[in-house]
Structure 1
Amino acid sequence: MITNHFQILIMVSILLPITALPVAPGHTVNLLGTSLAKDDGKILQRSKRGWMWNQFFLLEEYTGNDNQYVGKLHSNMDRGDGNVKYILTGDGVGSLFLIDENSGDIHATKRLDREERAIYTLHAKVVDKRTNKTLEADTEFNIKIHDINDNEPKFSKDIYFASVPEMSDVGTSVIQVTATDADDQTYGNSAKLVYSILQGQPYFSVDSDNGTIRTALPNMDRETKENYQVVIQAKDMAGQMGGLSGTTTVSITLSDENDSPPRFANHTFRLSTLESAEVGAAIGRIKANDADVGRNAEMQYSIVDRDGQDIFTIITDQNTQEGIIRVKKQLDYERKKTFSFKVEVTNTYLDPRFMYSPNPPFKDDAMVRVTIEDVDEPPVFSRNPYIIEVHEDTAAGSFVGVVSAKDLDADNNPVKYSIDRHTDLERLFNIDSVNGTITTLKALDREMSKWHNISVVATEISNPRQTTRVPVFIRVLDVNDNAPEFAMYYETFVCENVKSGQLIQTISAVDTDEPLVGHKFVFSMSFSNPNFTIIDNEDNTARIITRRGGFSQREMNTYLLPVVISDNDYPIQSSTSTLTVNVCACDSRGNVQSCNTEALLSAGLSTGALVAILLCVIILLMIVVLFAALRRQQRKKEPLIISKEDVRDNVVSYNDEGGGEEDTQAFDIGTLRNPEVMDANKLRRDIIPEMLFPFGRTSPIKDNADVRDFIHGRLHENDSDPTAPPYDSLATYAYEGSGSLAESLSSLESGATEGDQEYDYLSNWGPAFKKLADMYIGKDTERET
């Protein structure tokens, strides 16, 4: 059956190439290959084609045991003598497709799947077996695989998730599901799909052509049922019997809409609180329920009665959606013991679609009853604070004012009063513990303190822990008890060449009192003065005017002018202040040239300037003294004995004031240390020398001589000197010893007062001792002790 079918196809294929040949415009084709005449009379010859070929068709999923016959290739060059060879090349040749080279028959060796590959392109040619010459050129043809319904529809997801608002209208689109079929869409109905709903009716429906799921029932309520499982089927072959099918599940959730109003489960709430509850304190919670979720379930509470609005307020706890009732105004059990008010609850976000629906109203209300409980409260003062005024001349024990406190509790316990002494450290006031009367303990002085701030404590006698404090501000009223005086110290001077009527000073006054209408001072002199007069400016100042000229320092250098200053308050207070006027010598312009000390101060230099000058002079003197001391310290001689180790032997001469004995004159070893400090011509200061050099002295020091021998020699010379009177002396000898390799260590520069010292340790003492001996011949020096 299959073979005959393809033979027919091959027969058709013989004709198709002939009809498909290209024909030039204005020509006709002779199917028999005859020549045709062109319009212009020329004869055209048709090129004869040697192939018979076509596109072959092959069913997929062949289940036979033998190779599947595809078709036959035949060339008109084949005379049937076996000299023609058919050669096939292209996709799958040798593995999928085989050709009989003698007959041109093509077979498929394996079962083919159109979904894997739908078309194969092959090439065929014909050659002469003997000469291998190409008889038919390479020609391309196709083998197309015919589809069969061997694939079921498949959805892109096993489970779809979708949502649709509750209360949606019928036909509202929910989601579209799509299935695909791998079969050929252009051949038959193998891929023609039809959608149907297997589960989910009557709530939802599906469009059979495109798989769109829609709502099928009106007013679907999320609060009744929220989730739905819908099963959708896709079937090929246009849904006919024998078609393949696939299914998927769609999970549909109804999203919430604000269609449910809040409702109170209990329309009466009872709360209680103490009267001592602070403003802002929470006294209780009430709760309404809303079947919606999310923002649709958010609620707000409000108090709608005036009675409750003034005393209480209500807010919403955003976490629990409860209404929290708080105290708005201080509660008082004695004034009102119970409150009843209405609380209304509504949704925060209202949906206008449901506000006027036939459903119940979108809000609800409830009654709240609050009971106030009594608390033992501290006493309450009638005023807070108290401001009391008292005159400063009030004597000790005088009445100041009264404070009053009362226990507002039902018991109305008695109250006692006291003053917090931390606010009255000077103990100026006292209070009656029973009636709260405040009196003075001392006289008050407004000039010392204008206000006194004390605290009065009221305590319940039966319960001392219940106390209340109130500030009492006591203002001390002024009494004119202070006389005015000069506003400052005036340094006034008058020139010797001043004329009569000359202004020399303007004065003003101050008063520590504080009259209600302000100060008004009157200036006058206690007696008539021939030299000066005073003129009141009537603005709390006055002018001092000269009444004559010709003042002289030699006659009188200072004038004392008593000035009387009076105030205008009651009782009138006055004082006499003395103005000192110094006489000074001035030039023609009135500039001071010479004056006594007071005049000098007033003329050019103030007291502060003189003090500053004096301090500068003192500082300069201190600098000079410190500099001189520093120079003296720098020039100080090196001490004779540097340390205890320098002392080898001490010879102390005796003291004889009678002069009958010769003084024991010893050498000072310091001379050997600092020979340059000795003046060669210096004489003794304690006697008048009779002769400058009574006899000559020679130095016994020679080369390598011992210091000890030198010292003994010098002592002998001094002892035998008749011109040396006896006097106290202390001679210090330092001797290193004869065994020293350095013989004697000393510095001839050690006595220098300035500069760095150089120490030369001489190995030869001869020249040095000779120089020292010459310096000491005929000289007397003072010894340092």
Structure 2
Amino acid sequence: MPERLAEMLLDLWTPLIILWIALPPCIYMAPMNQSHVLMSGSPLELNRLSEEQRILNRSKRGWVWNQMFVLEEFSGPEPILVGRLHTDLDPGSKKIKYILSGDGAGTIFQINDVTGDIHAIKRLDREEKAEYTLTAQAVDWETNKPLEPPSEFIIKVQDINDNAPEFLNGPYHATVPEMSILGTSVTNVTATDADDPVYGNSAKLVYSILEGQPYFSIEPETAIIKTALPNMDREAKEEYLVVIQAKDMGGHSGGLSGTTTLTVTLTDVNDNPPKFAQSLYHFSVPEDVVLGTAIGRVKANDQDVGENAQSSYDIIDGDGTALFEITSDAQAQDGIIRLRKPLDFETKKSYTLKVEAANVHIDPRFSSRGPFKDTATVKIVVEDADEPPVFSSPTYLLEVHENAALNSVIGQVTARDPDITSSPIRFSIDRHTDLERQFNINADDGKITLATPLDRELSVWHNITIIATEIRNHSQISRVPVAIKVLDVNDNAPEFASEYEAFLCENGKPGQVIQTVSAMDKDDPKNGHYFLYSLLPEMVNNPNFTIKKNEDNSLSILAKHNGFNRQKQEVYLLPIIISDSGNPPLSSTSTLTIRVCGCSNDGVVQSCNVEAYVLPIGLSMGALIAILACIILLLVIVVLFVTLRRHKNEPLIIKDDEDVRENIIRYDDEGGGEEDTEAFDIATLQNPDGINGFLPRWGLPTQWWEERNPIQTACF
């Protein structure tokens, strides 16, 4: 309590002592030949006098005080005296008036125009404005003429410790790795003090920790925060709250202080190995589980976080290393055991695996603690399941000759039930793959038989699907593809590859090749086709043509002599026998048509028509075209003449009130009964536009026709 009272008294008297020190004596004795303004407090340098004043006075200027001081935040019952203006020109007759202008004149600072006393009439704050520039002037009281030039001076506001330190950026957050050594720098903080850092210790700050020991320390002047304990463990405590104080006046008693908080978080390092939650895991799995299915999960816990807790999993030993695999789940940080190969309960009913979890990221600083890994045992039990039948082969390939007898066996498939309680199997054909029902299968033994004849030339391959079904459980079925290849037999005779027609020039030479022909066979022998060509026995001694086998399996027909004449014989027919090399061989006879033609000297066929040959020898092709053009022109002239003639004839118009049949009855010629009625067309007579185009029918009297159509009669 006495210490607190002493601090209060010191705070009260300190501003008064400073004010007393700052105010020097106000009396200043100047030489009689000098005139100047005197201010209490500090010298004021006067401005230069005008040229006229220097001539009149010719007095030597002396130095004067040019600064005054006033204490901030001072308040009392009366305005505080800042200083006094005085000139040695003032004889005391009160004929001089003092004038004050500049910053705060009249509002903050007030002058007694008679005595020159300057008072502060408002409470000042150095942090708002530290100094004021004012102008002082002495004038004659009656005339207001300047007695002295205007002089500037400064009033400085003196600082007192009225502002506490502040942490403008607080509260603070910082991190430091766990397990750091003693004295590791964490961060630094900075406080500001609005007081004058130049004057006194009002802004001299000292830092300390109020809360956060013994874990952290702070340097008093730099505010650097460091660890005070080594090897702090994040897994034990992750976050710390530190309270920091900044105190001015150099930390001495009576100074003001401010506080802030710093939250320090320990970041993780990989200082902990993974550890399995249990040493033994048990899983069970049906034998028919799909490959890639997850069997189970194992997990190794790690007290670290983030990438320091990441572990990789491996199967390092056991009797199921070939059947199972383990993968790491980066999100859940556990290991997933999956099936790699099919299981068979009847072969092996359980497996044992040894799995290992190891950290991915190792910190070498802690490797001396031991291996950052752990192991566990996994036991997997295989459960029996009702499995579908299993075929003896994944696919079947059968072959059958195209001439195979109906109901003959072309192959067999077999299947079994892999379960311990074996079930009988029934076989069937998926008819979606055998729409024409060309095959049958024995439901008991799986023998496939032929149901319809096969033709290799129509289809070489037949692909069907065989279904095996358990008798005890019809839902257990299996399918297998069966490919049936139809083998070729020699059941097709060879024949010409196309319809050939040969042309023989009348002026051809003996031995000239007339035509080259080739043969084709629908069969497909293993060693390829080889054809034999021959003439009919009665045509062997043919006087006109002969044949020659070529190396490319084709045949050439040659002329034996020249001088063929199409007037004597226009077409020759040459039967050719073609035999294959099959077993037994097959043959057929194809006839080649040879037409005799007229050719140019270089062997180009020009005409193969006999009628063209009997035309007059001197008549050229151009003459024939000219004759044909004349005939066409004549026909056109005749048609035009007939048309013009018809237009000149008066049309036969039948009046509406006359009956057509009455006109016909008045015809005096003796008619022929029904023949007369058929000699004209009533519909034509009723159509006036079609009368000129009327054509007579058989039985119409010739005289009647000639009288009405003389031109047409002449043309006929």
Structures share fold, TM-score greater than 0.5: yes
Task: State the TM-score bracket (shorter-chain normalisation).
Answer: 0.7 to 0.9
Per-residue CA deviations over 1:88-114 (Å, capped at 9, x if unaligned) read: 333333333333333333333333332
2:24 corresponds to: 8
2:476 corresponds to: 466
Contact 2:351 2:381 in 1 (8 A): yes
Within the candidate set 202, 222, 244, 1:190 is matched to 202
Matches within 5 A, 1:759-770: none
Q: What is the identity, as a one-letter code, of the residue corresponding to 1:558? A: V
> Quick one: structure 1 residues 540 and 138, their matched pair in 2 at CA, closer, same or farther if it must change by over 3 Å?
same
Contact 1:270 1:368 in 2 (8 A): yes
> Quick one: structure 1 residues 232 and 560, their matched pair in 2 at CA, closer, same or farther if it must change by over 3 Å?
same
Within the candidate set 405, 409, 419, 2:419 is matched to 409
Q: What is the identity, as a one-letter code, of the residue corresponding to 2:24? A: I
Q: What is the identity, as a one-letter code, of the residue corresponding to 1:85? A: K
Q: Give unmatched runs, 5+ long, in structure 2.
A: 1-15, 46-56, 614-635, 670-686, 693-699, 708-716
Within the candidate set 59, 65, 77, 1:53 is matched to 65
1:115 corresponds to: 127
> Quick one: structure 1 residues 443 and 141, their matched pair in 2 at CA, closer, same or farther if it must change by over 3 Å?
closer
> Quick one: structure 1 residues 573 and 132, their matched pair in 2 at CA, closer, same or farther if it must change by over 3 Å?
closer
What SS does the aligned partner of 1:422 have? helix
Matches within 5 A, 1:441-452: 441-452=451-462
Find the aligned partners of 1:357 and 1:286 in 2 and give their Cα distance: 27
Q: What is the identity, as a one-letter code, of the residue corresponding to 1:420? A: D
Matches within 5 A, 1:49-198: 49=61, 52-198=64-210
Superposed displacement of residue 265, structure 1: 0.7
Superposed displacement of residue 200, structure 1: 0.6
2:526 corresponds to: 516
Within the candidate set 202, 223, 227, 2:235 is matched to 223
Instruction: State the identity %.
Output: 53
Contact 2:653 2:688 in 1 (8 A): no
Find the aligned partners of 2:420 and 2:611 in 1 and give their Cα distance: 80
Return the index of the structure with the highest Cα Rg.
1
Contact 1:235 1:245 in 2 (8 A): yes
1:247 corresponds to: 259
Matches within 5 A, 1:232-271: 232-271=244-283
Within the candidate set 337, 342, 363, 1:330 is matched to 342
Per-residue CA deviations over 1:558-588 (Å, capped at 9, x if unaligned) read: 3222222222332222222222222233343
Within the candidate set 540, 550, 557, 2:553 is matched to 540
1:394 corresponds to: 404
> Quick one: structure 1 residues 114 and 355, their matched pair in 2 at CA, closer, same or farther if it must change by over 3 Å?
closer
Superposed displacement of residue 688, structure 1: 9.1
Find the aligned partners of 1:74 and 1:638 in 2 and give their Cα distance: 155
1:291 corresponds to: 303
2:433 corresponds to: 423
Contact 1:519 1:567 in 2 (8 A): yes
1:576 aligns with 2:589: yes
> Quick one: structure 1 residues 5 and 221, their matched pair in 2 at CA, closer, same or farther if it must change by over 3 Å?
closer
Name the count of aligned residue pairs: 612
1:480 aligns with 2:490: yes
Superposed displacement of residue 4, structure 1: 7.5
1:211 corresponds to: 223
Greater mean deviation of Cα atoms: 401-410 or 69-78:
69-78
> Quick one: structure 1 residues 275 and 596, their matched pair in 2 at CA, closer, same or farther if it must change by over 3 Å?
farther
> Quick one: structure 1 residues 526 and 216, their matched pair in 2 at CA, closer, same or farther if it must change by over 3 Å?
same
Contact 1:508 1:542 in 2 (8 A): yes
Contact 1:582 1:599 in 2 (8 A): no
What SS does the aligned partner of 2:422 have? coil
Superposed displacement of residue 245, structure 1: 0.8
Within the candidate set 554, 568, 579, 1:555 is matched to 568
> Quick one: structure 1 residues 658 and 450, their matched pair in 2 at CA, closer, same or farther if it must change by over 3 Å?
closer
Contact 2:509 2:559 in 1 (8 A): yes
Within the candidate set 326, 336, 353, 2:364 is matched to 353
> Quick one: structure 1 residues 241 and 570, their matched pair in 2 at CA, closer, same or farther if it must change by over 3 Å?
same
Matches within 5 A, 1:297-336: 297-305=309-317, 307-336=319-348
1:531 corresponds to: 544
1:737 corresponds to: none
Per-residue CA deviations over 1:7-35 (Å, capped at 9, x if unaligned) read: 6344589899999999xxxxxxxxxxxxx
Find the aligned partners of 1:561 and 1:512 in 2 and give their Cα distance: 24
What SS does the aligned partner of 2:432 have? helix
Superposed displacement of residue 293, structure 1: 2.6
Find the aligned partners of 1:159 and 1:204 in 2 and give their Cα distance: 17
> Quick one: structure 1 residues 578 and 365, their matched pair in 2 at CA, closer, same or farther if it must change by over 3 Å?
same
1:374 corresponds to: 384
Greater mean deviation of Cα atoms: 225-234 or 521-530:
521-530
Find the aligned partners of 2:578 and 2:688 in 1 and give their Cα distance: 82
Per-residue CA deviations over 1:265-308 (Å, capped at 9, x if unaligned) read: 11221111111111122222222222223333333323233744
Find the aligned partners of 1:129 and 1:171 in 2 and give their Cα distance: 75
Find the aligned partners of 1:456 and 1:547 in 2 and give their Cα distance: 64
**TM-score after normalising by structure 2:** 0.77
Per-residue CA deviations over 1:335-363 (Å, capped at 9, x if unaligned) read: 22222212222344x043355142x5322
Superposed displacement of residue 46, structure 1: 8.5
Per-residue CA deviations over 1:612-635 (Å, capped at 9, x if unaligned) read: xxxxxxxxxxxx9xxx9xx9xxx9
Superposed displacement of residue 192, structure 1: 0.9
Find the aligned partners of 2:178 and 2:657 in 1 and give their Cα distance: 127
Contact 2:423 2:470 in 1 (8 A): yes
What SS does the aligned partner of 1:122 have? strand
Q: What is the identity, as a one-letter code, of the residue corresponding to 1:256? A: D
Per-residue CA deviations over 1:299-346 (Å, capped at 9, x if unaligned) read: 332323374442223333343233222222222222222222122223
Q: What is the identity, as a one-letter code, of the residue corresponding to 1:487? A: A
**TM-score after normalising by structure 1:** 0.70
Find the aligned partners of 1:639 and 1:429 in 2 and give their Cα distance: 83
What SS does the aligned partner of 2:272 have? coil
Superposed displacement of residue 233, structure 1: 0.5
Superposed displacement of residue 421, structure 1: 3.0
Per-residue CA deviations over 1:209-247 (Å, capped at 9, x if unaligned) read: 122222222122222111111100011110111111111
Find the aligned partners of 1:312 and 1:598 in 2 and give their Cα distance: 94
Q: C-alpha root-mean-square deviation of aligned residues, in Å?
A: 3.9
> Quick one: structure 1 residues 392 and 75, their matched pair in 2 at CA, closer, same or farther if it must change by over 3 Å?
same
Find the aligned partners of 1:93 and 1:53 in 2 and give their Cα distance: 19
Find the aligned partners of 1:594 and 1:133 in 2 and give their Cα distance: 149
Q: What is the identity, as a one-letter code, of the residue corresponding to 1:540? A: N
What SS does the aligned partner of 1:356 have? helix
2:502 corresponds to: 492
Greater mean deviation of Cα atoms: 563-572 or 231-240:
563-572
2:627 corresponds to: none
Superposed displacement of residue 5, structure 1: 5.5
What SS does the aligned partner of 2:235 have? coil
> Quick one: structure 1 residues 598 and 233, their matched pair in 2 at CA, closer, same or farther if it must change by over 3 Å?
farther
Find the aligned partners of 1:659 and 1:599 in 2 and give their Cα distance: 56
Contact 2:567 2:610 in 1 (8 A): no
Superposed displacement of residue 205, structure 1: 1.1
Find the aligned partners of 2:701 and 2:402 in 1 and give their Cα distance: 85
Find the aligned partners of 1:96 and 1:426 in 2 and give their Cα distance: 121
Find the aligned partners of 1:58 and 1:94 in 2 and give their Cα distance: 16
Superposed displacement of residue 648, structure 1: 9.2
Greater mean deviation of Cα atoms: 193-202 or 82-91:
82-91
> Quick one: structure 1 residues 177 and 597, their matched pair in 2 at CA, closer, same or farther if it must change by over 3 Å?
farther
Per-residue CA deviations over 1:348-390 (Å, capped at 9, x if unaligned) read: 4x043355142x5322222222211111111111112111122
What SS does the aligned partner of 2:147 have? strand
> Quick one: structure 1 residues 238 and 50, their matched pair in 2 at CA, closer, same or farther if it must change by over 3 Å?
closer
Matches within 5 A, 1:14-53: 47-49=59-61, 52-53=64-65
